[in-house]
Each structure stands twice: as C-alpha cells, then as structure tokens.
Amino acid sequence: MDYRAAGFWLAVGQGVFNIIVVIWMAVSRKNQANNKRVGDLEESNAKKIDEIKAKELIKEHVPACPTTTRIATIEAEFKSLPSLSDIGRVHARMDSAVAKVENLAGEMSATRNQMDLVLQELLRRENK
C-alpha cells in the first residue's frame, strides 16, 4: 500500500470537507440573519397593525363621549409644549448666562474697589 498517495488523498478529502463546511456555515448564518430580519419585521408589523386596529376601535366606540374632544384638545396643547431636550438646552443657556452675570459682578466689584482706591488717592493728595 502506498502511504504517500493515501496521505495525499486524505489531505484532498479533508480540504474538500473543510470547504463544504465553510460554505454550509456561510449559508446557515445568512439564513439565520434573514430569519431574524423577517421575525423582526413581523413583530413590528404586528405592533403597527394592532395599533391601527386599536385606533379604529376607539374611533368606532368613543366618538359619542364628550371628553374625547377635550382630551384631543389637551393632547394638541401638550404637543406644543417643549420637550425635555428643549428644557435641557434652556437650562444650559441659563447656566451660561448666570456664569456671565457672576463674572460681570466680580468685574464690577473689582472696578468699584479700584475707583475707591483712586478716590482715596485723590482725597489724600487734596488734603496735603
């Protein structure tokens, strides 16, 4: 028996097997990714369909209720209110303005102290 030839064919067989396994794994992973995407789409579409059905049921059964228009009015007013990010930006701008005012107050205090020194010097020169 020729062991070199058997080793060669064994290596060829192993290489072919490895290539087949790699191709099978690639196809399997692609299939899993596609199945996940399809599942996610089914979930999101099911949620949207449920929301649409709920809105239709509400429209069918709730219009007779007088508070519905009041609730719609309140919702419209709340939509025009600032969001949390808007309020955060306002706070940041206010903090910046407060820091600038504090800086100005410090500068004014320093200017007043300098003016007091100048006044004292002028008074001292006048009294000589």
Give the global pTM.
0.36
Instruction: Give helix then strand counts, H and E, for the chain.
Output: 3, 0
CA of residue 79 relative to chain centroid, distance: 20
What pLDDT digit, counting tens, does each position of 66-110 carry? 676 777 788 888 887 888 888 899 999 999 999 999 999 999 999
Task: Summarize pLDDT for 99-128 with one digit per residue, the tens.
Answer: 999 999 999 999 999 999 999 999 998 887
Cα–Cα dist 76/62, whole Å: 18
